Amino acid sequence: MEIVISNLNKHYGPLHALQDVSLRIGGGMFGLLGPNGAGKTTLMRILTTTLRPSSGTVQVGEIDALHDPHALRRQLGYLPQDFGFYRGLTGYEMLDYIATMKQIPRAERKRQVESVLEQVHLTAEARRRVGGYSGGMKQRLGIAQALLGNPRLLVVDEPTAGLDPEERIRFRNLLARISGERTVLLSTHIVADIEASCTGVAVLRKGRLVFYGSLHELVASAQGQVWQLETTPTEWERLQATHHVVASRATGTTVLLRLLARENPLGRGEPVVPGLEDGYMAVMNAAR
Ligand SMILES: Nc1ncnc2c1ncn2[C@@H]1O[C@H](COP(=O)(O)OP(=O)(O)O)[C@@H](O)[C@H]1O
Ligand SMILES: [Mg+2]
């Protein structure tokens, strides 16, 4: 299912939170990357019909999202950034409740709740109270509720925030698995979250789209700009003021730096093959 976003703008009073954003999102998993305040949640809320844009259009498959929000909601699963969990309910009870809200017929409810529990590997935990769940389990339950009704479009807003590294990897794998036959739009400020299996990525900065393309293209944005350089601590101080240092590692009396620069730093840098993080930094730098 293709999503076509055209010339989207959103003002909150004087603040221009989205500025003329145009974007096409195909099937599979698509990553929306950007720092806090970039406009990711605003864009997702518009896409999920919980917020109206100031101007622009959103087309999801055959549906004009702004004129026919009800039709879109029937195809949509959404895990908001600030999803509230009912701590006193068990996982099963919470899903059963949300399934009722989503007007899934009683006869089908049990089967669907069990199916989504299975898909997020929470069947064994379903009779426990949500208040006792770990962060990773809560986020998987959040995905389970979004999957009720078997939506073709799944929108998940910063689902890995607050997860520990192991939970984060499990969660990423889960998203990749369920994205198979649907479109999954994932927002994050962590580059590694989109590394695994995104078919495309968009980078937002201060409400503007500063990159849109494949992961390969994002990496290529840093081509020829990544250098490794051995320096002294004093030199390091100076370089940090003038260059974009992405990593530094002290090794005895010297410091090994990885930095972004259009020209070879101090003429002594060794070119390095860029990674996704470098690509992200390069497009953010170019937009400054
Ligand atoms: N309801 C609101 N009223 C006023 N400003 C808002 C509101 N929601 C978000 N903003 C502002 O819009 C900008 C984008 O926010 P948001 O979409 O939440 O970004 P992100 O999800 O990328 O962190 C931020 O500057 C934020 O403070
Ligand atoms: Mg947000």
The finding on whether 39 has its CB within 6 A of some atom of ligand 1 is yes
- For residues 287 and 208, is the Cβ–Cβ distance under 8 A? yes
- Each residue's pLDDT tens digit, 199-235: 899 999 999 999 999 999 999 999 999 999 999 988 9
pLDDT (0 to 100) of residue 161: 87
For the chain, what are the domain ranges?
3-213, 226-287
Listing DSSP states for 7-24 in one string gives EEEEEETTEEEEEEEEEE
Distance CA 216, CA 214 (A): 5
pLDDT band with cut points at 50, 70 and 90 for residue 196: low
Task: Convert 139-172 to b/e letters by CB count within 10 Å (16 or more is b).
Answer: bbbbbbbbbbbebbbbbbbbbbbebeeebbbebb
Which residue's C-alpha comes closest to atom 7 of ligand 1? 12
- Express as a percent the part of the chain with pLDDT over 70: 100
CA 16–ligand 1 middle distance (angstroms): 9
CA 54–ligand 1 middle distance (angstroms): 14
Identify the sign of the CA torsion 205, 209, 214, 220: negative
- Each residue's pLDDT tens digit, 99-144: 999 999 999 999 999 999 999 999 999 999 999 999 999 999 999 9
CA 15–ligand 1 middle distance (angstroms): 9
Q: Which atom of ligand 1 is nearest to the CA of 43?
A: 17
Tokens 């509720």 belong to which residue?
A: 145
Q: Which of 9, 42, 206 to mutate to test the pocket of ligand 1 (most atoms within 8 A of CB)?
A: 42
The finding on whether 42 has its CB within 6 A of some atom of ligand 1 is yes
Q: What amino acid is encoded at 109 in this protein? A: R
- If one counts every other C-beta atom within 10 angstroms of the C-beta of residue 219, the result is 18
- Each residue's pLDDT tens digit, 248-281: 998 888 999 999 999 999 999 999 999 999 999 9
User: Which CATH architecture group holds 3-213?
Assistant: 3-Layer(aba) Sandwich (3.40)
User: Does residue 80 register a pLDDT over 70?
Assistant: yes
Question: What is the rounded average pLDDT of the residues 238-250?
Answer: 90
What DSSP character marks residue 129? B
The finding on whether 37 has its CB within 6 A of some atom of ligand 1 is yes
Measure the CA angle with vertex 25, ends 285 and 82; round to 5°: 75
The finding on whether 34 has its CB within 6 A of some atom of ligand 1 is yes
Stated pTM of the model: 0.94
Distance CA 175, CA 153 (A): 12
Distance CA 12, CA 50 (A): 15
User: Does residue 26 register a pLDDT over 70?
Assistant: yes
